[in-house]
Amino acid sequence: METNDKKRVIFLNDDARNSKYPYKSNYIKTTKYSIITFLPASLLLQFLRVANIYFLIIAILQAIPAISPLSPYTGVLPLLFVLTVSVVREGIEDFRRYRSDRSINNAMFDKLESKGKFQSIMSRDIKVGDILLVNEDDTFPADLILLKSSLGQNAFIQTSSLDGEKNLKKRTIPVNFEEYVKPIDEKDFHLVGKCVSEPPNMDLYNFTGKMVIGSEQFALNVKQLLLKGSNLKNTEWILGLVVFTGKDTRLMMNSQKSRTKQSKVEKKLNYIIFFILMSQIAICFTLCVIMFIRDSMDDANQDYYVGAGNSDEDYILNFFTYFLLLNTMIPISLIVTLEVIKVLQCIFIMWDSAMFSIDDNARCHVSSTTINEELGQVKYIFSDKTGTLTQNIMVFKAL
């Protein structure tokens, strides 16, 4: 049962009984935003940068006539440009995640219905307890238990998307389960029973459970588990029982939630800008002190001096005036240039012919444009196999 920490009871191909338990939907969502949250959330994200906060303050101060000797447009327009480029870039990245999710959720699979008939359903509609037909080269839409295979007792899968291993792994039907899978050349069969398994967890290499068919019990282990994200290889088809769906699958439990990334260069830039800001405030305060001293001097010849007779409020306003006049200590052109360069870098990376795969007819894909400069910081690459970094090509020759 889902609410039990020790076991999970699943009835084979019985939606009515399985619906009593709060099993997760097989709908996948990896996007960071929705249509409603995109604009406010992405804008809030931009103000994690000290520079954007600084230029927002500058833009507000320039809009106050009593303080600003400058046109407000000189502060507002560059800031709007920077924010627009950043938000659009963020939107494009999240839209790519959305398209990937939609492709996975709308993939079609055949579900075993009553009397050995199959019905095509979308991946997002798959439920715990369903028995699915998966064909060769298809990606498993959920975590399955192998029940029947075109090869008899065995099936082969590739788990490169999970652990990076491209060698095929063998999976087998439960021990002594042969009488329920004969004849092997027919895909239509009917099973009545239940599966008792461990609760969802992150372990890719272990699994415990049992299949109960009538009075018979069959032990289950990782050799019967077909993980979501892996592919069926060298096997025409298999039939599998869905045990974990959606966020309960091993793949999703091991996947990190989409998060905001900052490069080392950007983090260092934040510290530098903060230091310059503190220096600018100190300079403005010093100038106000000098002005106060000059106004306090009893000099009969200072009638020409406009600042004579300033009040405390005037000194505060002058502080912000000096702050605006010195705002070029942190040039907004720096931020504009960084944003434009990041976009151009992504375009050049995708256009790079040296990273074009002729076999797959695919270009390099940039998943995140916020950490391009991290590529230039890589000094060492650790690998357990040479084939991970190079390319192993083996040609079979038969006499």
Provide the annotated active-site residues: 384
Amino acid residing at 175: V
Cis previous bond, 40, omega within 30: no
Find out whether 79 and 94 touch, Cβ atoms under 8 Å: no
Q: Rounded to an integer, what distance in angstroms lies between the CA atom of residue 36 and that of residue 54?
A: 27
End-to-end distance of the chain based on CA atoms, in angstroms?
57
In terms of Cα–Cα distance, which of 220, 266, 231, 298 is closest to 373?
A: 266
Q: What six digits make up the tokens of 346?
A: 């992504």
Q: Which amino acid is at 184?
A: I
Distances (CA, A) of 246 to 27, 142, 206: 6, 7, 19
Tell me the three-class secondary structure of the chain, residue by residue: CCCCCCCEEEECCCHHHHCCCCCCCCCCCCCCCCCCCHHHHHHHHHCCCHHHHHHHHHHHHHCCCCCCCCCCHHHHHHHHHHHHHHHHHHHHHHHHHHHHHHHHHCCEEEEECHHHCEEEEEHHHCCCCCEEEEECCCECCCEEEEEEECCECEEEEECHHHHCCCCCEEEECCCCCHHHCCCCCCCCCCCCCEEEECCCCCCCCCCCEEEEECCEEEEECHHHEECCCCEEECCCEEEEEEEECHHHCHHHHHCCCCCCCCCHHHHHHHHHHHHHHHHHHHHHHHHHHHHHHHHHCCCHHHHHCCCCCCCHHHHHHHHHHHHHHCHHHCCHHHHHHHHHHHHHHHHHHHHCHHHCECCCCECCCCCCCCCHHHHHHCCCCCCCCHHHHCCCCCCCCCC
